[in-house]
Amino acid sequence: MSTREPPIYSSVDKRGELLRLVRSHPAVLAACGFGSGLAPKAPGTFGTLCAALLYLALRTLPTVPYVLVVMAAFVLGIWLCGYTARALEVHDHPAIVWDEFVGYWITMVFAPRGWIWIAAGFAAFRLFDIWKPWPIRVLDRRVEGGLGIMIDDAVAGIYAAASLQVLILVTI
């Protein structure tokens, strides 16, 4: 299998074919959140839960390396999500959750330590990812390819991070 062109499945809505595609290429596996995006209901929420678990390891990094990892994950995500969208023949298939990973990690850049902040970041990110206030909804509808899949969740992460900072100011 070439890494340039993804395999094409005409009917990825069928669970078995989706599972076969996820197992067929590491990029698809990563874009689908290492399986978390395969949840039959609320795959974005399950993807964000997986991102929160991975955050537990990332939060040990100092701020600058953390930001560099998140930036690299965003850039990598453009390719991963674009490749997977072409393979699934759907622009932003619900199983693609790498964008939720990066959006959540953006949310948590300046968050204090503690489970309450992990949960608050989770809630804030899910709120903005689902609600899609301006310009998130515009970006979601108008930007194509891997960048289009990634950018709306990155902006939702920025909104959620700002909301966390306001919450921190009024509670700490």
When divided into structural domains, the chain yields a total of 1
The answer to whether 45 touches 103, Cβ cutoff 8 Å, is no
Judged on CB neighbours under 10 Å (0-12, 13-18, 19+), 19 is middle
Residue 144 lies in a domain: yes
Neighbour count for residue 147 (Cβ, 10 Å): 18
Tell which phi-psi region holds residue 34, choosing left (phi > 0), alpha (psi between -120 and 50) or beta.
Answer: left
Residue 78 lies in a domain: yes
Residue 8 lies in a domain: no
* Tens-place pLDDT, residues 45-76: 999 999 999 999 999 999 999 999 999 999 99
Domain that holds residue 76: 15-171
Residue 32 lies in a domain: yes
Residue 7 lies in a domain: no
pTM score, two decimals?
0.90
* Tens-place pLDDT, residues 12-22: 556 677 888 88
Quickly tell me which residue has 């997977």 as its tokens.
Answer: 84
Range list of H helices, 59-114: 63-88, 98-107
